[in-house]
């Protein structure tokens, strides 16, 4: 149980385009989902916390207009990287809280912006 999926697993796009990443909790309802960014050989950096049906809470330094988060249902949250640039290239990971004080993580999405 407690499986989280992400789609796509890998995406390559041109600079200036927008990319949407989906995060789904497959076998549980997640009232809260989290979006992280991970740079090579570094820890996870929390970008934002999203609660179903309300606006996401962004961490300091994360641009709200650039990283749009939508948590439309108890099983789906999306992260849209708008007008992507090469510096946005990174590994993006979502997680979902199952109501048991434990986060379960998706497999991650490797974004490469050319």
Partner 1 sequence: AQSVAQPEDQVNVAEGNPLTVKCTYSVSGNPYLFWYVQYPNRGLQFLLKYITGDNLVKGSYGFEAEFNKSQTSFHLKKPSALVSDSALYFCAVSPPSGGSYIPTFGRGTSLIVHP
For partner 1, the closer CB: 19 or 95: 95
Residue listed under structure tokens 């996401």: 56
Closest CA to 80 of 20, 22, 25, 26: 20
For partner 1, the closer CB: 36 or 113: 36
User: Which residue ranges make up the site for partner 1 (CB under 8 A)?
Assistant: 2, 4, 6, 31-32, 34, 41-44, 46, 49, 51, 91, 93, 95, 97, 101-108, 110
Give burial (CB, 10 Å; 0-12/13-18/19+) of 51.
Answer: middle
Smallest distance, Å, CB 95 to partner 1? Answer: 8
């Amino acid at each position: 149980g407690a499986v989280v999926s992400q789609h796509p697993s890998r995406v390559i796009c041109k600079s200036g385009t927008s990319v949407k990443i989906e995060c789904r909790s497959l076998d549980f309802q997640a009232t809260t989902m989290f979006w992280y960014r991970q740079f090579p050989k570094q820890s996870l950096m929390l970008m934002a916390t999203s609660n179903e049906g309300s606006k996401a809470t962004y961490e300091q330094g994360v641009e709200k207009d650039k990283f749009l988060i939508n948590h439309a249902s108890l099983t789906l949250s999306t992260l849209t990287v708008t007008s992507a640039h090469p510096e946005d290239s990174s590994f993006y990971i979502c997680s979902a809280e199952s109501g048991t004080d434990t986060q379960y993580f998706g497999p991650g999405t490797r974004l490469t912006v050319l």
